[in-house]
Amino acid sequence: MFILIITALIILVICFTLLSNYIRHSYSYKFELKPNCLLTRHPILFVSGYKTIFYFLNYWNSTPFYLRQHGYNVSELNLNWKSKTQRENEIKKFLEANPQTQFHIILEEQTLNDFSALDVENIEQIKNIWVLGAEKSLENKISLEDLKRNTKIKYYELQTKNKSAKKEALSFNRLILKISLWIHNFSLSFNKKGCLKVLGVPFINNIDDISREYLKLAVNIAEYDLK
């Protein structure tokens, strides 16, 4: 009887994790393309943060697709789920495999630690690293000395507050994602927790608002290319 209960619980957890990832992975929405967006000279590279079984598919959700539809050259680098050493090695291998390409790298603050072993300023393939956070989440974390020393590293705060007047009802998909995201963050150590507000999670974030924020970021990056 005990074995049957354990087996049933394992099956339930597996089904729950697959369902929560499928909800995000299969999500699609209609949006209007914004005309005359300034495009980047160099490709944009989204680097995944730390994952768990509750959050492993489509780390950046629909954001890369949204930017590609607007004409941006966007790639995604999916790193090892938890091992910092392996993540560092995968970053090095990726850069070595693309010696002729410069990238604008987009990542979350905790993922920046995976670049600590690299001499970022002197790596030709790294055009810039854009470290994302929600409103005020990056305040007082960056000293002037850091900014002087790491001129390629840019800190950018997305305006992630829901600008829509309507509050969404607690649908089945929303409930499943809320539970899975809570478990995902709870199971990660403090220095590996991502900022779920910036990931554009459907049914949690307002997708129109967060998509426009990323488009604004892409235009800002394109303006840096012109300097």
Nearby residues of 170 by Cβ (< 8 Å), 6 or more positions away: none
> Cα-Cα-Cα-Cα dihedral of 107, 83, 11, 201, to 10°?
-10
- CB atoms under 10 Å from CB of 153, counted, come to 19
Nearby residues of 135 by Cβ (< 8 Å), 6 or more positions away: 157, 158, 159, 160, 161
Query: Is the per-residue pLDDT at 196 higher than 90?
Result: no
Query: Is the per-residue pLDDT at 206 higher than 60?
Result: yes
Average pLDDT of span 115-141: 81
For 66, the domain range is 2-225
**What gap in Å lies between CA 129 and CA 152, rounded to an integer?**
6
Q: Specify which residues 40 forms β-bridges with.
A: none
- The number of domains in the chain is 1
Most confident of 98-102, 143-147, 186-190: 98-102
Give the pLDDT of residue 53.
93
CATH code of the domain in which 60 resides: 3.40.50
Give buried/exposed letters for 43-71 (b at 16+ CB in 10 A, else e): bbbbbbbbbbbbbbebbbbbbbebbeebe
Nearby residues of 212 by Cβ (< 8 Å), 6 or more positions away: 34
pTM of the model: 0.88
Average pLDDT of span 175-183: 92
Exposure of 106 in the CB half-sphere (CA atoms within 13 A): 26
Give the pLDDT of residue 39.
96
Query: Is the per-residue pLDDT at 140 higher than 80?
Result: no
